[in-house]
Structure 1
Amino acid sequence: MLDALLPIVLFVFATSITPGPNNLMIMSSGLNFGVSRSMPHFLGICIGYPAMIIAIGLGLGALFNQFPLLHEIIRWVGIAYLLYLAWVIAATREVGSAEGKKPFTFLQAVAFQWVNPKGWIMAVGALAAFTTPDGTMLVEAGRIALTFILIGGPCIVVWLMFGVGLKQLLKDPRHLRIFNITMGLLLAASVVTMIH
């Protein structure tokens, strides 16, 4: 069992600790709103993403295979939304002013998982790599989802705390502006690589 679990753990760690839309947005939330106001956003990622993995494993993947246009629509909505969020982050001029002074809610963060292109790539990749044709999909998808909670959650905390820690360094409005523009550009770049 450990032999089967270790590759999943490594995959989840590698995909959860690297920059992507969720991590860049939670870091920006930590910077602009602090830990307590970012908790609904954090929990929405930690619960919403594993729920998406289970849902895909239990049949949405088949639905998208049957109706590829539906997947394309979700993908392009996600790309457009991420580019909008990149602009909002880049345009933030003072700590706490992002998104009209309101961090993501729990439900917004859960819903965001469904339009996050990197999230889709990670979920489909994990399900393809770590499930078996003769296995029980609910059990195997559940194991992957649980690993994302146990390993991915702490990785997201790292990004949240990094954002909180930057608050002291970015008291100078010029530094904050450079940081937010950089984060906005990185978020936009993470989306551009998904357009093909």
Structure 2
Amino acid sequence: MTTELLLAFIAFAFVTSVTPGPNNMMLLASGVNFGVRRSLPHMLGISLGFMILVIAVGLGLGQLFEQFPPLYSALRYGGAAYLLYLAWKIAGAGAPDAASGNSKPFTFLQAAAFQWVNPKAWIMAIGAITTYTPHEGFLLNVLLIAALFALVNCPSVGLWTVAGSFLRRWLEAPRVLRAFNIGMALLLVASLYPILSDFQGPL
């Protein structure tokens, strides 16, 4: 991989990681509701889960979807349904010390598994492999791309968690926090439209 291509890929990884999407909307809400420390497993799960997704796409999963388009459609709509479920959970979340005790941040494994049903993650992974991965030494380049993406992704998504933690002091009142969570849920739902409309057909 040339230096120019490497720098272009790092810019791509940063822009796609830091711009709004399902992961970042959930991390902003997690930063508000749980703080940075309790959200760390969520952040690490996103980055490492996404790294595995990039490797899988590079090793041929994308080609499998090209041969069997219904598989991709099932993933796309299943992911959308799961995002709607998460939006509903966020909208109903209370303060972390609520009496119900049901308010918990995403675990590492939950966040890692979520990447496989996150439409934006698939678009990012496919773009990284098809646009920035040289064919010469392809396997090594896939591993390099995946590792670099994870290194860029973690601090990028972490900015949303930190931003959420700074908002906590202004959202201490239960009514205000509830309104914020409903707003985050609506933004999460809204993030589905541009993602899903990019792929009206198979990969």
Find the counterpart in structure 2 of residue 178 from structure 1. 179
Find the counterpart in structure 2 of residue 166 from structure 1. 167
Give the drift of 1:99: 9.3
Instruction: Choose the corresponding residue for 1:117, options 105, 119, 122.
Output: 119
Find the counterpart in structure 2 of residue 63 from structure 1. 64
Find the counterpart in structure 1 of residue 34 from structure 2. 33
AA in 2 matched with 1:16: S
Can you list the C-alpha shifts for 1:33-89, whole angstroms capped at 9, x where unaligned?
A: 222322221111111101100111011112111221111111111100001111211
Tell me, in whole angstroms, the C-alpha distance in 2 between the residues paired with 1:8 and 1:192.
25
Unaligned segments of structure 1, at least 5 residues: none
Find the counterpart in structure 2 of residue 81 from structure 1. 82
Q: Do the aligned partners of 1:91 and 1:180 also contact (CA within 8 Å) in 2?
A: yes
Tell me, in whole angstroms, the C-alpha distance in 2 between the residues paired with 1:107 and 1:65.
28
Give the drift of 1:17: 0.8
Q: Do the aligned partners of 2:96 and 2:103 also contact (CA within 8 Å) in 1?
A: no
Tell me, in whole angstroms, the C-alpha distance in 1 between the residues paired with 2:132 and 2:101.
38
Q: CA RMSD in A?
A: 1.8
Give the drift of 1:96: 5.3
TM-score, with normalisation over the residues of structure 2?
A: 0.89
Q: Do the aligned partners of 2:90 and 2:181 also contact (CA within 8 Å) in 1?
A: yes
Can you list the C-alpha shifts for 1:83-122, whole angstroms capped at 9, x where unaligned?
A: 1111211222434559922211111111100000011111
- Find out whether 1:44 has 2:45 as its counterpart: yes
Q: Do the aligned partners of 1:33 and 1:96 also contact (CA within 8 Å) in 2?
A: no
Number of aligned positions between the proteins: 195
Instruction: Choose the corresponding residue for 2:106, options 104, 107, 118.
Output: 104
AA in 1 matched with 2:117: V
Give the drift of 1:27: 1.6
1:64–1:99 CA distance, 2 compared to 1 (3 A) = farther
SS at match of 1:168: helix
Can you list the C-alpha shifts for 1:163-194, whole angstroms capped at 9, x where unaligned?
A: 11111110122322221111111100011331
Identity %: 50
Tell me, in whole angstroms, the C-alpha distance in 2 between the residues paired with 1:96 and 1:142.
42
